[in-house]
Each structure stands twice: as structure tokens, then as C-alpha cells.
Structure 1
């Protein structure tokens, strides 16, 4: 019996940063992509305020950093980042492992949508998926559009539809974890004339006196205040409340001011708001990222009880999944490639849960023991090794994916360092703009290049020189992670066989 032909290759449910990033990654690989978004217009509420860590590096590796910086229009903030009611100050490190770009979520989504459409992704707003079915050959969905209801089918479907993911619910994938009782509010404002920013970063508040920059624990919750520049003001509150809020309902300045008064016990003058958001923290993680032809990414798969990590984590899911899903659609994927998406990104999600739940323990306690814990951790964060380690945790830059083989090279599984190269290309980042795998020959190893012709249509090969090369050659996956590396002066016989095995493992059998 002939199977029905799918109308597109991949359906993505949800047009937030994760879904839009995945749409572009799939289109880089020539995969037909349809994005369904239930909301008729992009969200106006800036849930996220920017992008940072490993995903910001990935944006640069795709050759898109200039466009993100232009959309931001703001200088890079100094690398000081919150961590469980404390601050990790990376400003004294020559190469801080965590950096950020200020780009509120509405502007970020606008740019990501433009980038996806430029490559031919179809994005339908106001089209809500209401039912789905899958079999051995395809996924079919029922959609309620602005004019009528219809059905559409694809080879695969990815749920990027957020916290209350309809895809996850309909697929029956468990989402264990907890929801914390605090309501968190975050506001960004222009600096009000009545507030004085002192030279040491603290504030002079009329009728209150000196207010310390950073986090303040009070009997009613947590208050924080800081500025990236002398012209902006960021304020945060966290307090327990016995009520729920509609996340799609914008927060008002009055609501925010009331929360500041309850938590701090004083009024703070506020300028013109540029961002107002309210959120609840969860620690949840799906048991599996894949159910046959249905996959999950972003907030549909994981929720973290700390700010500043969710958007980047979801977009990194998309970068990891895109090329693997393309391999399945195009027919070259080796067995197990798509399952490696769950293995790798579930590991990444667990790592992010580890440090964000540690932050919960740091920030929630109000007794003497909790204050002592914060004091000890604050002391540790004065040491460069400790703050570098924690900065890498926040950035997701400490992650090493498990690689096949009995004794893989130390670089295997890590994110490719952006070596400066001499030759036809300027750096490692320049080789990954197209989202294709790359063999980078750093030692003019013709014996290794001779292995690659069978993968010519799937692999870019570059020869270049680098100072203090870490390996003779590195095989880089489209997501920037190193699949294999040849040690310096590794014998030809050993290196050739290992390269052939790695190419077959990740990119399928060679063409005949």
C-alpha cells in the first residue's frame, strides 16, 4: 500500500526564538519547512532581554553577529551576571566565558523571522495546531486558521510551543518537575532624574538613602537593582504570592511599583519603561525529546528556575537538531543520528538544571545558614578559577558531548575554538556560515583529505595553517562541535581509519 506523500518536510509548531532558529537551520540544509504560530502577531512582552553564552558564539559562527548587533543598537554590557542572588564578575578576565547582547525578545523574534523567511521558510501566524497524528510514514495535524480549518502533513514535527506545549501534551510525553511559588518581576527603565547613581555603583534614593547595587534579601523576598550604563535602570523583585497571572497579560508600572514597595518597604523612582515582564520559575525536564516522528525543543522540553538561560538553551536545541533532522529528510542520516539529539540535548538540559537549581538554594533561604552560604559562595567567586568555572556553567560553554570510540581526542565533543587561520579563510567561525560539516586540515595532510571524496556533497574541506595547532585536523559538525580530531603527527594509518569511521558515524555512508 502506497504511503501518502507529505505536503512538507518538517512542521514546526511555535514561532518564538527556538522555532524560528530551527526554521532557518533547516532551510540552510534545503529542507521544506512550515512554521505554525497560534498568535496572529508577535508577542509584545519582552520575556527575554537578550542573548548570551554559547548561542551568541553560534550566531557569530553562522555569520549573523553583525545583524544581531545592528538589531540591538546597544553597546555590549560588561560581563557581570546574576547567580542565585549574587553576581559573577567576569570583567577582569581577558577572555570571559560568558558574554551577552542586549536584544529584547520582540526585536529578536522579528530578526529571526526575517532570517528564516529570507531562506524560504513559510511562517503562518494565527494558525493554531489543534490535533496531531503520526504513523510510520508521516505526521498529520489539524490546524485552525483565521479563515478556515485544514490539515497538513509532514515527515516530522517539532514542538517549539513553549511552557504549555500542546504538542507535548498531545504526544503524552511526561514533563516532571516542580513550580516555585515566587512571582518574579523585572523592569528596565530610563534613569530617573530623582535617582543618583554613585561612583561605586550604588544608588542614592530620595527619602530612603543609599541603596546597594545588586541583590538584597528582605523579609518579604528578593530585590535587585543595577545599571548597564549611567542612562538605564534595571529593577527586579521576587516574592511569594497566592495568586496566578496570565503571562500574556502585560505587567503595568503600577503593578511593578506595588511589588517594589512590598519587597523593599520603600518606593523607588522609575523612569520610562523599556521592558516589563513577570514570570514564574519552574524546574522541569521532559523524559524524552523524541517520540518517533515528533520532537520537542526549547521551553516545550525544559524549564529552568533562573533567568538568562532559557532562550539560548532553546536556540542551541534547534542548532543541534536542525542538521540531524535534515539528514533524515534527505536520506543520508546514519542509524541513531536523530536519537543523538535526545542524548546530547537532554544532557545539556540536565547540566543547565544543575546550576539553576543550585541558584534556587542560594537565593531562597532567609535564615542565618542561608546568609552564611551566600557569603561563602560570594568569597569563592572572587577567585578567577571559580568565576571562570561558574561563568562557563551559565554560558553552557563547559559542555562536552560524549563521542564514539575507545579513546577520543580531548577536543572531540567540545565546541570548536575559533582559531585564527592563515590561508583562504580567516578563522574557524568563517567555515560554518553555511551550516555544513567541515574538515579543517591544519597540517596539509593529503592522506586525510584523500578519505573525504565519498562525502563531497555533504562536507566542506579546508586547508589552512594555525599557530600552535591543537590537532593536525578537526572534523566539525554543523552545530560547531568537534566530531573527531587527529593528534599532532598522528600516523596516517590510524588517522585515516578513525576519520572514515567518524564521517560514517555522523554523516552516513560515502557515496559510491
Structure 2
């Protein structure tokens, strides 16, 4: 059996695994990506990105204007906050918020995967489609992975293995890491693309069904369950229903369009004149039995790490999945690359779990809350009425917006400046090259010392081989200087001249100082 060697293996070429591969490649580490599929998955799943991750995709130069204006965002070349969203199907108005953190990018998951696969290949990443991780062993220092490939089994030896292999992760199971939370099996959700008569569509992206009423885009609670309508792609509406108190359906029983259609009619209580979708596929046709909300007890054991759904699964309500998983990848990528290169100690990887695990806990909390609020029953109807009133209060809307966007968790990075531990503001600064957005400075995924007062740059020269030093000016500068990590989070900031704090932050995140002779060699 042949054996190759690499620094990092990524098991899974979904959006999270591919995003991690791009992050590693930008930092000079070329992983091997394994996926049992023959190519990028065309399966319709997530319908777009929401929250902080949209800004982070912009930071990497991956964002493009919305093709389909489901979030009512403008077609500006960089992300802008969206004026409204929803919480458990209840409208959440955001236009009056002073600092609205909610961004939206309506890119369907197959297009996102294709985009990331193309970017990874441009960066030289080896994506081995049709190759499945079947086993691995580790002695704490080296990992040997067994792979089933088109030409037979082989092995790969690596320093690190990242399981981005989904909720049923082989990597997590083999490590024996507990997957803890709640599960229910009495709720069935069914979705399908459908042909919907034009006369049923409303001008605001919703649908009006005779005898049942008018329903908005997205999740709609009714007394018998939940009705979902979303026309993400023009001419390809997604329609679905969730029912409670259902008898289990065998996993191996194929789902049919008629099954979805009947579920929609049961939930709405009236005939619904829809037919199977027209035109080329792939078309969505999906049944989900039960609801799992589970979180891995740990994200890392020695050289093996968990990413995305292998680390956490939860309801898709509110669209938090890719917001969470892609940010996991961007958080892990630069840290893992720094350790592989020898620029940072191994314990830097501990901050991946300490920073991202609490964010996943918050997502699980609000996704469970939304699931509870959309359940049937008169008590829930009354609670929704009360909750709808509360959501009109600006402070409540602001709290929910930050919760959904993922901006309400501040990383404990050891610096008490108000900006530290948070995603850098979307600043425009003036450099020798002219005005630039901070997002443009972070395209290469290198850390930046942004000196806005001219007092900090000279004190970071011993890190200049690892940290880009940018001297600039800015109107209404939020700090005199900021140290920005490759993931866009502020590692240190000062309003005066806290040079000792700068040196501590540089050392903690990017390794010890090096003599100027070493830096310039």
C-alpha cells in the first residue's frame, strides 16, 4: 500500500473544509483535501450567508453583489447591513439600528462550494475527489490516514488531520469525543423545489394560497406546524412543511414530491396547487426526521481537529450554520498554518476551541429558542404575540441582531480595549497608495499592525516578517493603532502608546520577536 506525506489532511470538501483549505494555502501550507464525492456537491442546502461571515468573505475578496435580492441589500461591491430579517418567522426590523451587524449574501450553497473549490485550486490545493477517509491512527505526533481511492486503498502520513466530514463524522466518532445535546424524533420536515402558479406569487417574495392566506418569504408558523416558502433562484421556488408529533419514517424510504405536497396540504389545511419542478436540476427533495442539537465536547485532541458540522449540529432556522462553520474555518486556518510553519507554539491551537466553542453554544441556544417559538399550540401562539411586541423595542432588536449575526461574543484575547476581541470595524484608511478599506488590507490573510497615529510602527519591526505594518490615517479613527489578526479580529488596540501591550500581543499571537537581521534576511 503506497504512502504519501503532508502537513495537513482535511476530510471533507464541503464549504467549511474548502474554506479551511483556502486559508491554509494563503498562509503557505498546502493541505490534501479528501472527499468521497466525484466533484463539488450540487445538492441544494443552505440558501445564503448571514451575519459576520459575510464581512469575512469580503475580507478574503470572495464577496460579490447579490444575484438575487432576497435580503433586500443593495448591489454595492462590498457588504452593507440588511434592513430586516426574522427570528422564528417573526419580522425583525433592523433599519433603525445605529450599528446594524446583520449582513446577507444570497449565494446558494452549491455556488458557494463551486466558488471555494475554484479558489482552492487557484491556490494550488490538492482536492482529491472520489477519495474517502476510511480510518486513521495517531501516536500523538503523527497521523496515518487510510484512504479508499479510485485506484485502490492507500495511506497518507500527516502532522494534522481536520475532520470536516459532517454531523456523522467518522473523525469525531473514532476519537471518541462526546457529541452532547438534545435530540427529538417526532418532528418531520420536508422540502422540495416546486412549480408554483404565477398568480399565487406576491410582489414581496411571498405566496398567497386560497383558503389559507398570505405567507411571507421564509418560515411561517401555522397552528398545524410550519410552512416554508422561499424563491431563492428565479423560477425555482422552494416549498416545505414541518409537522410535529409524527410517526418515524424509515431512513431508507425514498422521499417523493407527492409526500412533500401532501405534508404542505396537511399543515395548511387546504389544497395547494403546486406541481413538480420544471427544467434541469438538481432539484431539492429532502426529508429530515427529528431535530438534533449537538455540540462536540472538545474540538481538538492532539493533532486531530473538528470543524463545522462534525463539531456542532443544530436547526437551520435563522440560517446560522454556514455563519458558524465558515468562521470556524477562518479562525482555525491561520493558527494551524502558523504552528505548521513553526512561527507559533502548539498551544495556539487551544484558542480555536476556547474562542469558537462558546459561539457554537450561543447558536445552539438561539436555534433551540426559535424551534420552541414555532411549535404548535395556543400557549406558543400567545408567546409569539408577546415576543413580537418585545421585538419592536430597539434594545431588543439590537440584542437579537447581534445574537443572530454572531457579533455578541467577544474573544478573550487578553486586552481590554473596547475593540479588542471583536471583528475590526469596516474602516476606510488613507495610505501611500490612496484610500483603502481595511478589508482590502486583509486579502492576503496576513496579520496587520495598522498605525493610525505614527507611533506604533517602529516598535514592531522585529515581527515584520510575519506582520504587515501599515501606516495610515483615518477620519474618526477608532484607535491610535490596531493589531489585526488574519481572521479580521482585533488582537490589541490602543488610544495612546501602549507599546508593552503591543509586544505582548505580538508575541502571544505571532511568536517571539526576531532580530532585525533575521527579519531582513
* CA deviation profile, 1:322-359 (whole Å, cap 9, x unmatched): 01101110011135211000100101111111211211
Name the CA distance, whole Å, in 2 between partners of 1:449 and 1:119. Answer: 30
| 1:126-160 Cα deviation digits (max 9, x unpaired) | 11111111123211101111121000011100000
**Aligned residue pairs, count:** 491
- Report what 2:41 is aligned to: 43
**1:103-125 deviation line (CA, Å, top 9, x unaligned):** 22222111111111110110111
Q: Is the CA contact (8 Å cut-off) linking 1:416 and 1:480 kept in structure 2?
A: yes
**Equivalence map 1:16-415=2 (5 Å):** 16-66=14-64, 69=65, 73-75=67-69, 77-78=71-72, 79=82, 80-91=84-95, 93=97, 96-181=100-185, 182-187=187-192, 189=194, 191-197=196-202, 203-206=207-210, 208=211, 210-213=213-216, 216-225=220-229, 233-240=237-244, 241-244=246-249, 246=251, 252-270=256-274, 272=277, 275-279=284-288, 280-307=290-317, 308-334=319-345, 336-364=347-375, 366-405=376-415, 408-415=416-423
Could you say what secondary structure the match of 2:428 adopts? coil
Give the match for residue 518 of structure 2: none
2:79 aligned residue: none
- CA–CA distance in structure 2, aligned partners of residues 180 and 50 of structure 1: 26
**8 Å CA contact retained: 2:34, 2:132:** yes
What is the rounded CA distance, in whole Å, between the counterparts of 1:278 and 1:464 in structure 2?
A: 53
The 3-state SS of whatever aligns with 1:176 is: strand
Q: Is the 8 A contact 2:8 2:31 kept in 1?
A: yes
TM-score by length of 1: 0.89
Q: Distance between the aligned counterparts of 1:28 and 1:250, measured in 2?
A: 42
Return the alpha-carbon distance in structure 2 between the equivalents of residues 355 and 112 of structure 1. 28
CA distance in 1, matches of 2:342, 2:270: 63
SS at match of 1:400: coil
Residues 426 and 217 of structure 1, relative CA distance in 2, 3 Å threshold: closer
Q: Confirm or deny: 8 A CA contact 1:45 1:277 kept in the other structure.
A: no
Residue of structure 1 in register with 2:468 after alignment: 460
Helix, strand or coil at the partner of 1:18: helix
Contact 2:21 2:30 in 1 (8 A): no
Q: 1:361 to 1:196 in 2, by over 3 A?
A: closer
Structure 1 residue 224: Cα displacement? 3.6
- How far apart, CA to CA, are the structure 2 residues paired with 1:375 and 1:96? 24
1:252 Cα deviation after fit: 4.1
Report the CA distance between 1:218 and its aligned residue.
Answer: 4.0
Q: Give the whole-Å Cα distance in 2 for the aligned partners of 1:12 and 1:343.
A: 21
Mean CA deviation greater in 81-90 or 20-29: 81-90
Structure 1 spans left out of the alignment, 5+ residues: none
Q: Distance in 1 between matches of 2:198 and 2:12?
A: 41
**Whole-angstrom distance in 1 between the partners of 2:339 and 2:95:** 44
Contact 1:47 1:277 in 2 (8 A): no
